Amino acid sequence: MPPVDTNHNPFGGWSNRTNHYSPYGGGSGPPPSVFGALPYPTPPSNFPQQNSNISTYYLTSLNPSVLNCAVIDHGPRQRLHYSVSTDNSMPGYTVFKNAERKSVALIEWTRHPRVEVRGAVPKQETKGWLKISRDQTYRTMTVRGFQYTLAPDNQYINLCSFGSTPQFLGRISRGEETVVIELTPDAIQLGLLDTIVVAAVLLQCGHNID
């Protein structure tokens, strides 16, 4: 399948390089930062009609943040795909469970946070998994041995394949009391849904992951 053209430069627009967290709850924030939170509010715009096969997911029911939330799809039934929980029964851990209530990922909130995504990302420090580029304009993410980039573009964080001619695979944006993930069919086929949900939580939770 050829790359999806969104008319955006996936490596441009990430001008704010400070470790800023804009909490949920209102007010306008800075442009997206390589270190985390997206500005508020940013109602996600629709993809062009030719991209009608885009799969959309919402991190919703934030309690009070993405560290406790539900991940649903955009379909008419709004099916639950994941639950994300950080509770007193497992202090210091954020657990990701799929619709069958099986654990698929885990974040350990230690001095140097660690992350693991079953079958995709072996346990490692978050700063190594979502590694900031030398010029601090994007992050790299390795999944099953393949590298991807997470790079800002206005109110979005774009997910692309890594290389000289990056292929657009999806994006993260922010709406009112929700975080939106949009993925191309190629991203779904590559099995990136689990990992991009975990990456979105890490980038939007407000904790230092570096």
Please provide residue 38's backbone torsions phi and psi, each rounded to the nearest 5 degrees: -85, 155
Distances (CA, A) of 169 to 54, 55, 157, 195: 10, 11, 11, 13
pLDDT of residue 194: 97
Low-confidence ranges of the chain (pLDDT < 70): 1-52, 88, 90-91
Beta carbons of 40 and 182 less than 8 angstroms apart: no
CATH of domain 53-204: 2.40.160
Contact (Cβ atoms closer than 8 angstroms) between residue 73 and residue 64? no
Sort 99 into a burial class: Cβ within 10 Å, 0-12 / 13-18 / 19+: exposed
Dist. CA 95–CA 174, nearest whole Å = 22
pLDDT at 51: 56
The predicted pLDDT at position 35 comes to 53
pTM of the model: 0.78
Structural domain boundaries in the chain = 53-204
Closest C-alpha to 194, from 110, 100, 119, 91:
119
Residue ranges of E strands in 28-113: 55-60, 69-73, 80-85, 93-98, 103-108
Question: d(Cα 187, Cα 185) in Å, to the nearest integer?
Answer: 5
pLDDT at 19: 32
pLDDT at residue 23 in the model: 27
pLDDT at residue 40, rounded to an integer? 38
| Reduced DSSP (H G I as helix, E B as strand, rest coil) percent helix, strand, coil of the chain, to 5 | 10, 35, 50
